[in-house]
Amino acid sequence: MAENNNANAAEAEAVAAVVAVEEKVVKDTEAAAPAGGEHPAPATTKRNAFFAMSNMEKLLATVTLILSIPVLGFVVWIFYVRGSDCESILKLPGFQVAIGIGLIVLFLISNGVVFMRSRFPVLGLMIVMVPLLLMFIIGLALVGAYKMESRSVAASPKWLRVKVFNDAHWDDIKSCIYDMGACDDLVSRTLMLKSYDFSLKKLSSLESGCCTPSTICEMQYVNATFWLRKEGPRNQSNPYDSDCDLWNNDRGSLCYSCVSCKRGFLGTLQSKWWKLGVFLIIASLLLFISHLVLFLSSVFIQFRT
């Protein structure tokens, strides 16, 4: 009888011990569980997703920085060619300086927004969009885009044409072209060429328009800036035939007063400013896209976290 009592007591103690262990496990589980009884996702999954999105954001920021670097390179080019092509007569160097300073400001704003995007994503996007939009509009004006070409927009194709064909401006421009020595340089480069070889020589629009007579004049070649007039009647139906009468073998005259010289000088200016306009359009579009994608990725990361 005593043995049975001892066995029952031992069994009761064992059951009590098991129950105590189970209660402790339940309490520990409840303490570790979040409010509401939801089970958290594995920490490793969340961390991996965070690092993946962070790396993507860093990549986009790097791309945006790389896209802004050519802006500084173009600023150097703008200041390097600021005083060339007699543009000071048309007061274009000041406009070039303004564009250069504007591009420097854009570079600083663009990269400042990149590094501050996590704190002010919406404000940063709005700030950078203003100079990018202005840059895009100026680019359209410089390339002479439809409805953007205007006489009031400096350096636009129509504005340049009006200024170059203004007689008061042209007197100063042709003096500048002469002082530049463009035709003297042509003579030194072609001094040993015969007539046929010279006809194959590729000349700039300024050289062909100001330093040589028009091909419609049918003059006989002696050297680059000395030509003999053809005897006999000449066909005067061409609208630029008046250039033939204006041609003079004197080094100080040549064809500086010709329409072809004005067109050559105008072509040189338009080519330069057209390239600048194309760069502004492409750079503004690329930076706009990169900043927009970077903004969307930043918002998405904040939403996920």
Along the 305 residues of the chain, how does pLDDT read in single tens digits? Answer: 544 555 555 555 655 554 555 565 455 555 555 554 444 444 444 344 334 446 777 787 788 888 888 898 888 888 877 656 688 888 888 888 899 999 999 999 988 888 776 677 788 888 899 999 999 999 999 998 866 556 778 889 999 999 999 998 999 999 999 998 889 999 999 988 898 899 899 999 999 999 999 888 889 999 999 999 877 665 556 555 788 889 999 999 999 999 999 999 999 999 989 999 999 999 999 999 988 888 888 777 677 76
In-domain check, residue 48: no
Is the domain of 187 the same as that of 250?
Answer: yes
pLDDT at 102: 92
pLDDT at 68: 86
Whole-model pTM over 0.85: no
The tally of domains found in the chain comes to 2
pLDDT at 83: 59
- CA dist 127 and 38 (Å) reads 42
- CA dist 201 and 160 (Å) reads 28
Does residue 11 sit in helix, strand or coil? helix
Write out the residue range of the structural domain in which residue 94 sits.
62-160+269-304
In-domain check, residue 167: no
Number of H helices, E strands in the chain: 11, 2
Is the domain of 101 the same as that of 250?
Answer: no
Is the domain of 156 the same as that of 274?
Answer: yes
Closest C-alpha among 178, 201, 176 to residue 191: 201
pLDDT at 138: 92
